[in-house]
Amino acid sequence: MTRNGRTALGAVAALLVLAADQASKAWVLGGLHLPERGSVELLPMLSLTMVWNRGITFGLFNGGGHAFAGVQVEGVVLGGFALAIVVALAVWLRRAENRLVATALGAIAGGAVGNVIDRVRFGAVVDFIHAHAFGWSWYVFNIADAAIVCGVAALLLDGWRGRGADKDDARARLAADPHRS
């Protein structure tokens, strides 16, 4: 796959994550009316539980916040920081060495943009997926958060499997000239 192909793959991944994230949040807020219901059990180990996350990932630093002219300062700072990261990811995406990296970067960027949209619209991120079992409870999260975590895991996997020649380009060269080793 060419560099432009990998960039397009990452962009498609970002758009798919963003669309899934925003559609799920629209359904949770407008269709299921989860803010009014609080929580809905889906399975013994999985619930939809409404949480307005004003902090960062997994609710860290989820304090009361400081307002200036009616705007939550922390939300603006966190949103700006997230957008700066998305710009850096886009630069990295243009240089992605393989499809795994391109897809992972797209998933992270799409998730980050989805959460920034929430901060702009609501002043907080809409979190609602709640996994729990045997007295153990994980942080409440959303599709954007899951995409970010999976994207980071994929980048770690790529790093662990080793660097070297771009395997996508090597496969393409071999397919174009099977006598070349």
- The set of residues, in sequence order, having a beta carbon less than 8 Å from that of 10 and lying 6+ positions away, is 93, 96, 102, 103, 105, 106, 109
127 is catalytic: yes
Residue recorded with tokens 């219901």: 37
At 34 the three-state DSSP class reads: helix
List the catalytic residue out of 145, 158, 168, 177. 145
Distance CA 108, CA 152 (A): 7
- Of the candidates 180, 85, 166, 74, the one whose C-alpha atom is nearest the C-alpha of residue 125 is 74
Tokens encoding 115: 């959460």
- Residue 93 near residue 10, CB atoms below 8 Å: yes
Q: In this structure, what is the dihedral angle of CA atoms 153, 58, 145, 74, given to the nearest 10 degrees?
A: -120
145 is catalytic: yes
Query: E-assigned strands of 54-168?
Result: 67-68, 71-72, 125-133, 136-137
List the catalytic residue out of 21, 118, 127, 168. 127
Q: Which residues are catalytic?
A: 127, 145
